[in-house]
């Protein structure tokens, strides 16, 4: 049956798919987004939901007490709630142009740094550390949000140094890093301090930091770790357990038991038993739960997803002419890769326990929202790559989309 419009003209139903000629914000976003990165990120989020579903019963039964009993899927329901908040945050952030992105990052860096200063005074603690600020129904961990904001701010400062060598922006970014590390050591959080410092060093090296200064900074880092060992009992105990095996090694012993029980193919979804003896199964040691129920093959596939995210981001960054976009993309990719590697190595007893989550996978509000923010920033930056600028076909001619990097 034909549908007649006023005047006798026939009309066709509007196509639901976005065309290349769609100049709306969604149309420009769809045709300029790096779809490979987007697919990898959604695959990691999906893997995280499955992993938290596997770890939730173990965590719920371990934390249930005489006054309150958790439902077996309590942590899964919470994770789904964080995903429902985090994914829109990521997509909204991915639509930012670079000018707005810089402003948001600088403001976020200042606010998170102030929050880090306040944590020792008003924050809450767990496992010997004070890292959270309690909000209604939510624990806010400033260090998680500081990381992506600081990486973008550092990239902006160092890009100014690339354009004008007389500007002291390298020193300014180093001063901000030093202030953050002082605040983190006060919590204490040596793991996050080392991660942020490593990302900064990568960005500074790419911006032209001399090998002599790199060597000096590396030596200072080693001295700092030695100083932390002799002044922070909590840190020293973890190092001693890792190096000598003396003391309480319950966590890592149970994590390794999970991998042994799972073998190559795993025990099957919901069939794991060692996970019920595993502390922090839903957060720090969720990789061990994956190893038990889904096997080493699944662990290798998950590691491959993280490697794919890092490699894809770095390939895009290498083709970028804008020094800010190059440094910011490389910094965010380094953060994702290092944080995932540290968590996996801790689970395999290749590094001392750090209390660091596995990006996109571990349960947690601050962690997931901050990772979603970082992923959104990465997607926004990679939209600027020339290979990702779609073309609008209009009759026989073609015109390039406006870049996401609007002046």
Helix (H, G, I), strand (E, B) or coil at 295: helix
Of 33-47, 131-145, 283-297, which range is least confident?
Answer: 131-145
For 178-195, write each residue's pLDDT tens digit.
999 998 888 778 888 889
Report yes or no: 338 and 161 within 8 Å, Cβ to Cβ. no
> Which residues, listed in sequence order, are joined to residue 248 by a DSSP beta bridge?
none
Higher-confidence position of 101 and 9: 101
Q: Which residues contact 185 (CB under 8 A, 6 or more apart)?
A: 193, 228, 232
pTM of the complete model: 0.84
Closest by CA to 364, choosing from 188, 60, 140, is: 140
Please give the structure tokens belonging to residue 335: 């953060």
Angstrom CA distances, 292 to 72, 75, 306, 310, stand at 18, 19, 20, 26
Q: Tokens 């300014």 correspond to what residue?
A: 172
pLDDT for residue 72 is more than 90: no
pLDDT for residue 390 is more than 60: no
3-state DSSP of 228-255? HHHHCHHHHHHHHHHHHCCCCCHHHHHH
Q: Is the dihedral of CA 226, 192, 179, 201 positive or negative?
A: positive
Closest by CA to 286, choosing from 216, 346, 335, 337, is: 346
For 151-180, write each residue's pLDDT tens digit.
999 999 999 887 777 888 888 999 999 999
Closest by CA to 49, choosing from 72, 90, 83, is: 83
| Burial of residue 343, with CB atoms counted within 10 A of its CB: 0-12 exposed, 13-18 middle, 19 or more buried | buried
- Tell me whether strands 129-135 and 138-140 are parallel, antiparallel or unpaired: antiparallel
DSSP 8-class letter at 167: S
Rounded Cα distance between 376 and 371, Å, is: 9
pLDDT for residue 60 is more than 80: yes
Taking phi first (over 0 means left), then psi (-120 to 50 degrees means alpha), and beta for anything else, what does residue 354 get? alpha
Average of pLDDT values for 288-304? 94
């Amino acid at each position: 049956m034909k549908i007649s419009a006023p005047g006798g003209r026939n009309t066709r139903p509007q196509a639901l798919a976005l065309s290349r000629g769609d100049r709306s914000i969604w149309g420009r976003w769809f045709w300029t987004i790096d779809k490979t990165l987007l697919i990898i990120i959604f695959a990691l989020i999906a893997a995280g939901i499955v992993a938290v579903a596997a770890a939730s019963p173990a965590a719920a039964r371990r934390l249930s007490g005489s006054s309150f009993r958790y439902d077996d899927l309590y942590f899964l329901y919470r994770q789904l709630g964080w995903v429902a908040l985090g994914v829109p945050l990521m997509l909204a952030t991915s639509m930012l142009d670079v000018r707005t992105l810089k402003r948001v990052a600088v403001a976020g860096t200042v606010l998170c740094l102030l929050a880090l200063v306040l944590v020792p005074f008003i924050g809450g603690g767990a496992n010997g550390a004070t890292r959270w600020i309690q909000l209604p129904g939510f624990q806010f961990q400033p260090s998680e949000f500081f990381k992506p904001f600081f990486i973008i701010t550092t990239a902006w400062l160092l890009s100014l140094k690339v354009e004008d060598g007389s500007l002291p922006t390298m020193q300014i970014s180093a001063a901000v890093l030093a202030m953050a590390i002082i605040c983190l050591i006060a919590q204490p959080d040596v793991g996050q301090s080392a991660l942020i410092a490593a990302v900064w060093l990568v960005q500074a090296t790419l911006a032209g930091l001399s090998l002599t200064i790199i060597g000096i900074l590396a030596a200072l880092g080693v001295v700092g770790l030695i100083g932390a060992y002799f002044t922070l009992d909590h840190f020293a105990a973890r190092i001693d357990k890792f190096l000598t095996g003396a003391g309480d090694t319950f966590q890592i012993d149970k994590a390794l038991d999970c991998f042994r029980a799972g073998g190559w193919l795993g025990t099957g979804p919901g069939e794991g038993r060692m996970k019920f003896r595993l502390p922090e199964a839903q957060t720090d040691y969720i990789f061990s739960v994956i190893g038990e129920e889904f096997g080493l093959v699944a662990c290798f596939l998950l590691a491959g997803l993280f490697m794919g995210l890092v490699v894809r981001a770095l390939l895009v960054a290498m083709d970028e002419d804008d020094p800010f976009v190059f440094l910011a993309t490389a910094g965010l990719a380094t953060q994702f890769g290092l944080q995932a590697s540290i968590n996996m190595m801790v689970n395999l007893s290749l590094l001392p326990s750090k209390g660091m989550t596995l990006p996109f996978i571990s349960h947690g509000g601050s962690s997931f929202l901050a990772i979603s923010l970082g992923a959104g920033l990465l997607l926004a930056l990679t939209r600027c790559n020339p290979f990702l600028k779609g073309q609008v076909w209009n009759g026989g001619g073609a015109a390039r989309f406006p870049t996401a990097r609007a002046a």
